[in-house]
Amino acid sequence: MNCEDLIAVILEYLEGSMTPEDVEAFEAHLQKCPPCRAYLATYRKTKAMAAEAGRVEMPDEMKARLREFILRRAGAGP
Ligand SMILES: [Zn+2]
């Protein structure tokens, strides 16, 4: 795998949709290529920021209801 290959599959890597063999090749390249490590770090940060920006805050009432619902389910048991 070279730098171009790595960049082409970076999204699959982050989403965990690569085969174990590809992950191995990907990580082997990262080990010996600092620029690709930097690229991956930047890519990850950008993706996290985008996810953060798109996040909708859950209202307190919703949180309380969800908690109650989960507790009730947990209490009921299998
Ligand atoms: Zn590289």
List average pLDDT for each run of 10 residues in the chain, which is 78 residues long: 91 93 96 92 84 75 82 70
* Amino acid (one-letter) located at 66: L
Q: Give the integer Cα–Cα distance in Å for 45 and 43.
A: 5
Residue that is written with structure tokens 């010996």 in the block: 32
Taking the centre of ligand 1 as the mean of its atom positions, its distance from the CA of residue 27, in whole angstroms, is: 10
Longest dimension (CA), the chain: 54
Cα torsion angle, 9, 13, 19, 24, sign? positive
Taking the centre of ligand 1 as the mean of its atom positions, its distance from the CA of residue 20, in whole angstroms, is: 19
Taking the centre of ligand 1 as the mean of its atom positions, its distance from the CA of residue 29, in whole angstroms, is: 6
Taking the centre of ligand 1 as the mean of its atom positions, its distance from the CA of residue 53, in whole angstroms, is: 29
Q: 74: helix, coil or strand?
A: helix
Cα torsion angle, 38, 25, 23, 17, sign? positive
Taking the centre of ligand 1 as the mean of its atom positions, its distance from the CA of residue 19, in whole angstroms, is: 19
Q: What is the pLDDT of residue 69?
A: 81
Q: What is the pLDDT of residue 23?
A: 96
